[in-house]
Structure 1
Amino acid sequence: MSNADELARRARLRVVGLAARKAIHLGPALSLIDVLAALYTQVLRHDPARPDCPDRDLLVLSKGHGAYGLYAVLAELGVLTTDLDDLPGHPSDGIPGVEAATGALGHGLSLAGGLALGARLTGSDRRVYVVMGDGELDEGSNWEAAQFAAHHRLGNLMAVVDRNRLQQEGDTEDICALEPLADKWRAFGWRVGESDGHDVAAVAEAVTALGAGPGPAVLIAHTTKGKGVPFAQGDPAWHMGQLDAAQHHIAVTALTATA
């Protein structure tokens, strides 16, 4: 197990520990942790000891209800020292390592596009990454932002779609079909890659490969909602919930066994 894989495992333990104490968006947090671990340990220019370093790359979590996954990864990196119980259910201003307050789904890509254009205009070589949920791609504002980014040829912008194929009400393809998703992004002028979203090395490799080229890029990371917790995996009922003692024991046992 690599250091990044171990970081992701410990981050999941933090999330399930919190879910034993209160109801949270458990499934969405667990599905994106490997993606975040890959980005923070192998891709982004950032210094955990100086999270506000002006030369850092930026990461916007558009999928705001996955906030506890982000907090857990930042805690494992040493950026956050606050107890997760004290943090809000969506990224908020003033939290170390959080670049933007998000939660209104479909807005993160627009925000990231503005940050990427601003970086170009000020001569900065920083890159901007935005992690999105597939369910939020129902929102038309995402496709306006995709068109904007392609028009301005924002080569310093990359989106990663957490493609777990589930949203709160059920399967994305039953609610508002996204496929052929890769072709849709290409039609908007984006370079597209795909990877196993739970293979940290594969995510990092795919992001690095996409980084070299003109215009914006998107990685479709194929994931499982509730990853790591056997009874929650692939079950939309665990979009949000609280673990009882028996469920918490099962979750911890499963995650400990992967060490």
Structure 2
Amino acid sequence: MPNKQASRIGTAELQRLAAAGRWHVIETVANAKAGHIGGPLSAMDLLVSLYFNELRIDPQQPQDPARDRFILSKGHCAIGLYAVLALRGYFPIEELATFDQGGSRLQGHPDMKLTPGVDSSSGSLGQGLSAGAGMAMAAKQLGAGFHTWVMLGDGELEEGMVWEAVHTARRFKLDNLTAVIDLNGLQQYGWPVTEDGDRFDRSNPWAGVNLEGVFSSFGWNVVSIDGHDFDEIQTAFDHVRAGRGSGKPTVILANTVKGKGISFTEGTYKWHNGVATPEQLAVAAAELGQTLEGEAK
């Protein structure tokens, strides 16, 4: 079994890592002149918690067959995953500077054939949970002990293929599968509207829908948390472990803020993607406790 943390990292260190991850996201995208910001920032606390306190992994053996699997179904948020993989030791942090360049291992969407630590290529929304269900089913058939985790966006839940996987996972008793939903309540595009002069309604795609009830009705274990509270995140992970052997997959409904951690990116669809100016980078560095070179103060 791959190495797991000998002891859990405390909240202060998780906060430090998340701040560093957020800085690497906005700095890297600024240098690349393109990329996504809002989703990687909303998911950062969840990703840091997974990679430093939960996943059974060994960065020195990224292809170990006994490792836990992680799929970033919302693949456009790849830079958030790359930042955490670099912090965890899968490749040098300096390599983030090659993001989205020709010949780089760090493309705009995750590529399992290029990037150490990436277990599934993704980018076409809605497909990740089906791939994760397949991995979990294979683990069951092989008698393997690894757990499969899939992170999805709330806008992505509008894809019909997601719900086919939700239905199938319970029928095959995939209690070794966990979905983490980044419920940041904003999407780049939504249902068409015309009355306000804007082409799209970008508000919460699941407003008025009882997602807890929906997943429960499909037979899943459901945990709802504040996706920026490290204690609640860890409690959710504990719940996942307690559910192994129940025959039920688990979903973590993580309520988050799009663009979390930087004042000018928080809570606005306009920073779904975008390139920070030098002045904005200076603001972000100050708020995240970083220097403009990305080193902690």
Distance 1:183 1:90 in 2: 32
Distance 2:70 2:135 in 1: 10
The DSSP-based 3-state class of the residue aligned with 2:151 is: strand
1:31-50 to 2 correspondence within 5 Å?
31-50=42-61
| 1:153 equivalent in alignment to 2:173 | yes
| 1:217 equivalent in alignment to 2:247 | no
> What is residue 83 of structure 2 aligned with on the other side?
72
1:148-186 deviation line (CA, Å, top 9, x unaligned) = 00001100000000010111121133xx65721111111
Conservation of the 8 A alpha-carbon contact between 1:132 and 1:160: yes
The DSSP-based 3-state class of the residue aligned with 1:20 is: helix
Distance 2:265 2:81 in 1: 19
Query: Which consecutive segments of 4 or more residues in structure 1 shift more than 4 A?
Result: none
The DSSP-based 3-state class of the residue aligned with 1:50 is: coil
> What is residue 182 of structure 1 aligned with on the other side?
212
User: Which stretches in structure 2 are left out of the alignment for 5+ residues?
Assistant: 1-10, 190-201, 291-295
Distance 2:108 2:209 in 1: 29
Following superposition, the deviation at residue 138 of structure 1 comes to 0.3
Residue from 114, 119, 144 that aligns with 2:139? 119
Residue from 165, 185, 205 that aligns with 1:165? 185
User: Which stretches in structure 1 are left out of the alignment for 5+ residues?
Assistant: none
Following superposition, the deviation at residue 255 of structure 1 comes to 0.7
Conservation of the 8 A alpha-carbon contact between 1:38 and 1:201: no
What is the one-letter code of the residue matched to 1:5? Q
Following superposition, the deviation at residue 52 of structure 1 comes to 1.5
> What is residue 35 of structure 2 aligned with on the other side?
24
What is the one-letter code of the residue matched to 2:186? L
Residue from 22, 35, 54 that aligns with 1:12? 22
> What is residue 265 of structure 2 aligned with on the other side?
232
Following superposition, the deviation at residue 80 of structure 1 comes to 2.1
Following superposition, the deviation at residue 3 of structure 1 comes to 2.0
Conservation of the 8 A alpha-carbon contact between 2:170 and 2:218: yes
Q: Higher helix proportion, which one?
A: 1
Following superposition, the deviation at residue 53 of structure 1 comes to 1.6
Residue from 207, 232, 253 that aligns with 2:237? 207
What is the one-letter code of the residue matched to 1:78? G
Following superposition, the deviation at residue 49 of structure 1 comes to 1.9
| 1:143 equivalent in alignment to 2:163 | yes
Residue from 256, 267, 278 that aligns with 1:245? 278
Which deviates further from its counterpart, 233-242 or 77-86?
77-86
Structure of greater Rg: 2
1:198-228 deviation line (CA, Å, top 9, x unaligned) = 1223212212213322110000011111011
Distance 2:61 2:143 in 1: 22
Calculate the TM-score normalised by the size of structure 2: 0.83
Distance 1:103 1:61 in 2: 9
Following superposition, the deviation at residue 104 of structure 1 comes to 0.6
Distance 1:245 1:178 in 2: 40
Identity in percent: 41
1:117-174 deviation line (CA, Å, top 9, x unaligned) = 000100101100001101100001000000000001100000000010111121133x
Following superposition, the deviation at residue 50 of structure 1 comes to 1.6
CA gap of 1:249–1:77, structure 2 versus 1, over 3 A, is same
> What is residue 293 of structure 2 aligned with on the other side?
none
| CA RMSD in angstroms, aligned pairs only | 1.6
Higher RCO (CA-CA < 8 Å; seq separation 6+): 1
Calculate the TM-score normalised by the size of structure 1: 0.95
The DSSP-based 3-state class of the residue aligned with 1:194 is: strand
Distance 1:180 1:171 in 2: 16
Following superposition, the deviation at residue 20 of structure 1 comes to 2.1
Conservation of the 8 A alpha-carbon contact between 1:135 and 1:166: yes
Distance 2:60 2:186 in 1: 36
Distance 1:201 1:41 in 2: 14
